[in-house]
């Protein structure tokens, strides 16, 4: 197939970025694309070179650090620091936020989960990188300068290391998807102006958590299953890799949910690194998100590694989640008996 007519990530960003963001933001997104290619190269060799398995460290989240987690984190930090575009960063894998040395500092704050879904590394299933970008004209001095609501983001995106490597990028107005041609070593525009379907086709949740779910989540799931009574209108699809579940739902029309439950009393997913960027992308694609009573983008973070309940995807399904949440708040749903032997909060 001739390649000449296809648009590269860099060309697309230069041509389509809103005028106000031309320049450094274009460079930054291009550099994130470079980091993505470097991480993709390591992911592709997992199992061949020594990147499988745990480092023996436990991260700030209390989770075992996989070697690929560490490689992805170090690669992202190094490329962003050298890009000249970034003033500060915060990573899911780092205890504290990172300030870029003055000589290299630029005008953006980048928050990221370097390798989401890392429990899938050893089984060769899809994993990814998630990032959010904030304008940051003055150099951050304190943690408070980094704890910004998701609404302030100017761009967000993710990379999936799956059967192909895709880079999805949203500037708040549109979402575009690029696929890596591994022979050329370049991302090419593959799904321009992605829009999430209006009709719900898929539901993604860890259903084995049902004993821990609040009543509203059980009500919502019951309602969605009821839609299948007459005919199979919906199907369940859940990989346990948020970014991959989100990508499938964005293309096929799905909703992902991971509520606050009796096991994860503040939620499992991280507000800054996972939920805010995906909520930003979902909304730019015509979808929606909620923590229960509103978008996670409106939450004012108090901690770098803050967690939240999260529902994201097709707008109609997110609205049904908010309706069930409101019913529980009004006391209309019977409270659930706690599970017989709670496993305790993670």
Could you tell me the smallest distance in angstroms from the CB atom of residue 147 to ligand AHM? 19
Scanning 13-21, 217-225, 234-242, 324-332 for contacts with ligand AHM by CB under 6 A, the matching segment is 234-242
Kindly compute the dihedral angle of the four CA atoms of residues 189, 186, 100, 158, in this order, to the nearest 10 degrees: 40
Give 17: exposed, middle or buried? Use CB within 10 Å, 0-12, 13-18, 19+: middle
Residue 114 CA, chain-centre distance (Å), reads 10
Helix and strand numbers (H, E) in the chain are 8, 17
**Footprint (CB under 6 A) of ligand AHM, residues 57-96:** 63
- At 148, give phi and psi (nearest 5°): -110, 145
Compute and round to an integer the Cα radius of gyration of the chain: 20
Q: Give the Cα separation of 277 and 308 in Å (integer).
A: 13
Could you tell me the smallest distance in angstroms from the CB atom of residue 134 to ligand AHM? 20
Could you tell me the smallest distance in angstroms from the CB atom of residue 245 to ligand AHM? 6
Scanning 19-27, 38-46, 110-118, 294-302 for contacts with ligand AHM by CB under 6 A, the matching segment is 110-118
Using the rule CB under 5 A, which residue among 69, 93, 116, 186 binds Mg ion? 116
Q: 326-346 burial by CB neighbour count: b if 16+ within 10 A, else e? A: eebeeeebeebeeeeeeeeee
Scanning 101-109, 116-124, 223-231, 299-307 for contacts with ligand AHM by CB under 6 A, the matching segment is 116-124
State yes or no: residue 245 binds Mg ion (CB under 5 A).
Answer: no
Cβ closest to ligand AHM, residue 256 vs residue 280: 256
> Which position's Cβ is nearest ligand AHM?
242
CB 166 within 8 A of CB 179: yes
Q: Give the Cα separation of 300 and 323 in Å (integer).
A: 23
Could you tell me the smallest distance in angstroms from the CB atom of residue 226 to ligand AHM? 24
**Footprint (CB under 6 A) of ligand AHM, residues 166-205:** none
Q: Give the Cα separation of 260 and 240 in Å (integer).
A: 16
Q: Give the Cα separation of 144 and 135 in Å (integer).
A: 15
Scanning 117-125, 212-220, 301-309, 330-338 for contacts with ligand AHM by CB under 6 A, the matching segment is 117-125
Cβ closest to ligand AHM, residue 26 vs residue 241: 241
Could you tell me the smallest distance in angstroms from the CB atom of residue 92 to ligand AHM? 6
Using the rule CB under 6 A, which residue among 26, 75, 118, 308 binds ligand AHM? 118
Helix (H, G, I), strand (E, B), or coil: what is residue 74?
helix
Q: For binding to ligand AHM (CB under 6 A), which residues are involved?
A: 63, 113, 116-119, 206, 240-242, 268
Q: For binding to Mg ion (CB under 5 A), which residues are involved?
A: 113, 116
């Amino acid at each position: 197939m001739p390649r000449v007519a296809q648009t590269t990530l860099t060309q697309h960003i230069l041509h389509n970025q809103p005028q106000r963001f031309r320049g450094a933001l274009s460079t930054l997104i291009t550099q994130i694309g470079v980091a993505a290619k470097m991480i993709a190269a390591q992911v592709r060799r997992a199992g061949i070179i020594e990147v499988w398995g745990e480092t023996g460290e436990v991260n700030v989240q209390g989770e075992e650090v996989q070697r690929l987690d560490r490689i992805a984190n170090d690669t992202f930090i190094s490329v962003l620091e050298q890009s000249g575009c970034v003033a500060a960063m915060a990573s899911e894998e780092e205890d504290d936020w990172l300030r870029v040395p003055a000589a290299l500092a630029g005008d953006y704050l980048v928050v990221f989960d370097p390798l989401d879904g890392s429990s899938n590394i050893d089984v060769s299933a899809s994993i990814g990188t998630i990032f959010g970008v904030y304008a940051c004209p003055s150099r951050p001095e304190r943690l408070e300068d980094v704890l910004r609501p998701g609404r302030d983001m100017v761009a967000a995106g993710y990379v999936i290391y799956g059967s192909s490597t895709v880079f999805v990028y949203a500037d708040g107005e549109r979402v575009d998807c690029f696929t890596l041609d591994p022979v050329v070593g370049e991302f090419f525009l593959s799904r321009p102006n992605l829009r999430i379907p209006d009709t719900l086709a898929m539901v993604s949740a860890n259903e084995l958590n049902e004993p821990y779910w609040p009543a509203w989540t059980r009500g919502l799931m019951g309602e969605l299953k009821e839609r299948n009574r007459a005919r199979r209108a919906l199907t369940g699809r859940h990989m346990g890799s948020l970014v991959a579940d989100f990508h499938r739902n964005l293309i096929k029309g799905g909703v992902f949910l991971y509520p606050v439950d009796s096991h994860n009393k503040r939620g499992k997913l991280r507000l800054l690194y996972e939920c805010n960027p995906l909520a930003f992308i979902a909304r730019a694609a015509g979808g929606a998100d909620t923590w229960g009573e509103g978008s996670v983008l409106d939450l004012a973070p108090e901690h770098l590694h803050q967690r939240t309940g999260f529902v994201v995807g097709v707008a109609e399904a997110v609205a049904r989640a908010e309706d069930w949440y409101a019913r529980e708040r009004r006391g209309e749903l019977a409270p659930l008996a706690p599970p017989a032997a709670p496993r305790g909060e993670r």
